[in-house]
Amino acid sequence: MIITSVRLHRLSIPLVAPFTTSFGTEHTKEALIVEIGADTAAGAVTGWGECVAMEEPLYSPEYVDGCAEVIRRWLVPALVGAEGLVAETVAHHLRHVVGHPMAKAAVEMAVLDAQLRAGGQSFAQYLGGVRATVPSGVSVGIQESIEQTLRVVDGYLTEGYVRIKLKIAPGWDIELVRAVRRMFGDDIPLQVDANAAYTLVDSPTLRRLDEFDLLLLEQPLAEGDLRQHAELASRLRTPICLDESVTSATSAADAISLGAAQVINIKPGRVGGYLEAVRIHDLARAHGVAVWCGGMVETGLGRSANAALASLPGFVLPGDISASARFYAVDITEPVEMVDGQVAVDTAPGAGRAPLPEVMARFRVGECEVFAR
C-alpha cells in the first residue's frame, strides 16, 4: 500500500467512575487515535489505530502526547516513503527508533486495519483466532474502602463478568483479598495486580496471598526486576504473571527462561503491536506458559482488536476485555457488549469497528494532519 494521509485525533473521554491503581487515578481516558488513508490494490481505504499510552508516564515510560510527537516526527516520515509497505514490515521500517512500542503499535495497527479492510479479512482471521467469543474479565480499581470494593465486585459478578482482578498496593492487599474471598467464596476466578508497587523485601507479605488460591499475582515488582521476579516466584505458590516487564518477544523469552513468569499478560500496545503480541503468544505456548489479553482502558476500537487477539488458542485465561460500559457511558465506536460473560469477536473486515465521527468530534481536544499527499 501507499500511505496517502495520516491524521491524529486527541480525545478526552469521561470515565463512568474514576479508575485508581497503585500509581494514580484517572478520571478521563486521554485517547490518541491514528487515522491512515492508503491506496491499495483494492482502492482507497482508511485504517484506524489506537495508542494505549496513558496521560502520564507512570505505568510505562511513554505518555500520550509524547507518542503523538514521536508518531508525527519520526514514525510517519519513515513509513510514507516505504516501498510496498505492508503491516508485516512496519516494525522493520521503524526499527531505528529506539523504544516507543506504544507509538509504534498504534501506527502498525492503523496500517494493519487498512490492509485487512482492503483484503476483506477480520483481525481475528488474520491473527489466527479460533473462537467466536472470548471470556470477559474485569479489573477493579482501588476503592475508598473494602466495603465499597465488595459492592463494586458484587455489581460486576451480577452483570456476568467471569473473572475479577483486584488492583492492590502495599497496605491494600491481604485484608482486601480475604474480604472478597469471604463474601464471594473460593470458586470465583480471582487475581490481583500490583502495577510494580512492591519490592522483594515485601515477599513475606506477598506470600500471605498464597492462602487465597489466586489465579495469579500480576507484576508485583518493578519493570526491570526480572531476576527478582524469578526469586519471588520461588518463594510463592501463587503464579507470577508479568505485565509491565514484557515489552517484546525478547523480554518474554528472557522472563520465561529465568522462571520470572508463569503467566504473561499480553498487551499489544506494550509490546509494539499485534504482530509482536502473536509472536509472544506462540513463544509462551511453546513453553507451556499461559497467556491472557490485558487492557489499557481502550475505546471500542482497541477493545475489539484485543478480543480478536484473545481468540487465539494460547489465550487460556479470561482477559481484561470488558464491555465498553465498564469505562464509558459513550464509546467512540459502536459499544462492545458483554453477554453471559462473553465478548463476541468481531467478524467485519479490519478491526471490526471504526470510530464514529460525531462522537469523536464531541470528545476531540486536538487534531493534527501529519501527512497528506
Q: Name the pairing type of β-strands 217-218 and 190-193.
A: parallel
Under rule CB under 6 A, residue 243 binds ligand SMG:
yes
Q: Give the contact letters, 71-110, x = binds to ligand SMG (CB under 6 A), - = no.
A: ----------------------------------------
191 forms part of the interface with ligand SMG (CB under 6 A):
no
296 binds, among Mg ion, ligand SMG, none (CB under 5 to 8 A by kind): ligand SMG
Provide, rounded to whole angstroms, the least separation between the CB of residue 165 and ligand SMG: 6
Shortest spacing between CB 103 and ligand SMG, in angstroms? 17
Beta bridge partners of 266: 293
Q: From start to end of the chain, where are the E strands?
A: 2-21, 24-40, 43-51, 133-135, 137-140, 163-167, 190-193, 217-218, 240-242, 263-266, 290-293, 342-344, 364-372
- The DSSP secondary-structure symbol of 346 reads P
If one asks whether residue 63 binds ligand SMG (CB under 6 A), the answer comes out as no
Q: What angle do CA 26, 101, 300 make, to 5 degrees?
A: 50
Task: Please state the closest distance from residue 326 (CB atom) to ligand SMG, in A.
Answer: 7
- Amino acid symbol at 134: V
- By CB under 6 A, residue 214 contacts ligand SMG: no
Q: Does 59 bind ligand SMG (CB under 6 A)?
A: yes
Cell numbers describing residue 320:
481484561
Residue ranges in contact with Mg ion by CB under 5 A: 193, 218, 243
Stretches 67-75, 97-105, 198-206, 295-303: which one binds ligand SMG (CB under 6 A)?
295-303
The Cα angle at residue 255 between residues 251 and 256, in degrees rounded to 5: 120
With contact defined as beta carbons under 8 Å apart, do 131 and 363 qualify? no
Does residue 26 touch ligand SMG according to CB under 6 A? yes
Which residues participate in catalysis according to the annotation? 167, 267
> What region, left, alpha or beta, does residue 288 occupy, with left being phi > 0 and alpha being psi -120 to 50 degrees?
left
* CB 320 to ligand SMG: min, Å: 4
Q: Is 139 in the site for ligand SMG (CB under 6 A)?
A: yes
CB 351 within 8 A of CB 301: yes
Q: Which residues bind to ligand SMG, rule: CB under 6 A?
A: 19, 21, 26, 59, 139, 193, 195, 243, 294-298, 320, 322
